[in-house]
Amino acid sequence: MKMKAIVHKKYGLPNVLELKEVDRPTLKKNEVLINVQAVSVNRSDWEGLTGTPLYARFGGILRPRHKILGSDIAGHVEMIGKNVSRFQPGDEVFGDTSFRMGGFADYVCALEETLVLKPTSMTFEEAATIPQGAVIALQGIRDKGQVQPGQKVLVNGAGGGAGMFAVQLAKLYGAEVTGVDNTGKLDFMLSLGADHVIDYTKEDFTKNGKLYDLILDVIANRSVFAYKRALRPNGSYFAVGGSAARLFQILLLGPWIRRTSGKKIRILAVQPNLKDLVHMTELCEAGKIVPFIDKRYSLNEVPEALQYLGEGRVKGKVVIIVNLNNNA
């Protein structure tokens, strides 16, 4: 059977994306076939489209391994594989398919263990904002950061998909939060609860003399020595994303900085898991964390949505509404 999908056969800018009729994915025994209702756009989709940073070419140096991008999906279960026990056709589910992508399409196959039931109180588009960004935030703020009340936390890239959850979560944990992002996102970061905001186009947070217990960084674009300078004694820095060169420098020098100064500078390797996804969903359901949707697009507008993200204009998340008539 055929379906509509946004396909790219080479790395490039959004103009390499095409709306095509392609074969519906074939269901394996431990998978669920989902009729996609909504899919949110992540920076990892931009990275997969452009092939930068270099690690985005993992498994496909010259040509993309994933021809259909999109990983934070929400939709109806259409069919289940013979080993699937937690879902049945008609269930409303959502989850993170980032190991195989495929969400910018009418249908996607996902491993059963990557999915949870969508709360009835939540729309598909709300659910689609949660998986990747919220789990990054939880593992950065709660697990690795072990944030305590009164601590000073800085989120670099706080106006984006993961940052929006990280700021709100750090506030829930009682921290004093500084958000860093571009000029157009300062008010947005304040609306998320940030106590202080810094415009990265005007000020370098590693040079203003302020120190933090935790820095969670979604774009790691400075040297490890700059991050070390901005940490309090025994403070921690975690890079979530950034250039391959920066991440390599952190891997190489982080252990030495730890030994010589007591400051921790590490990469946060996020482990997607259902427990964390459910926890963050419950916080959203309870209204303790509010995902913000900046704009909505239809499936054929995925290139525009990615362009908007690439231009650095998205506050929080943009969402692709795949089935406009069915998104309750």
Ligand X SMILES: NC(=O)c1ccc[n+]([C@@H]2O[C@H](COP(=O)([O-])OP(=O)(O)OC[C@H]3O[C@@H](n4cnc5c(N)ncnc54)[C@H](OP(=O)(O)O)[C@@H]3O)[C@@H](O)[C@H]2O)c1
Best CA proximity match to 216, nearest among 303, 322, 296, 138: 138
Q: Which residues pair with 162 in a beta bridge?
A: none
**Structural Rg of the chain based on CA atoms:** 20
Residue type, 183: T
Q: DSSP 3-state helix, strand, coil percentages of the chain (rounded to 5)?
A: 35, 25, 40
Asked if 291 touches ligand X (CB under 6 A), the answer is: no
Asked if 280 touches ligand X (CB under 6 A), the answer is: no
Asked if 161 touches ligand X (CB under 6 A), the answer is: yes
Closest approach of ligand X to the CB of residue 328, in Å: 26
Q: What is the footprint of ligand X within residues 251-270 (CB under 6 A)?
A: 268-270
Closest approach of ligand X to the CB of residue 298, in Å: 20
Q: Per-residue x/- marks for ligand X, 210-249, CB under 6 A?
A: --------xx-x------------------xx--------
Q: What is the footprint of ligand X within residues 34-73 (CB under 6 A)?
A: 42-44, 47
Q: Which of 94, 104, 200, 297 binds ligand X (CB under 6 A)?
A: 200
Q: Which of 70, 103, 160, 179 binds ligand X (CB under 6 A)?
A: 160
Helix (H, G, I), strand (E, B) or coil at 134: helix
Nearer to ligand X, 42 or 151 (CB): 42
Asked if 307 touches ligand X (CB under 6 A), the answer is: no
Rounded CA separation 201/307 (Å): 20
- Number of Cβ within 10 Å of residue 240's Cβ equals 26
* DSSP result, 148-177: -TT-EEEEETTTSHHHHHHHHHHHHTT-EE
Nearer to ligand X, 77 or 186 (CB): 186
Burial class (CB in 10 A: 0-12, 13-18, 19+), 296: middle
Asked if 312 touches ligand X (CB under 6 A), the answer is: yes
Closest approach of ligand X to the CB of residue 292, in Å: 11
The residues of the shown chain that bind ligand X, judged by CB under 6 A, are 42-44, 47, 132-133, 136, 156-157, 159-163, 180-182, 185, 200, 218-219, 221, 240-241, 268-270, 309, 312
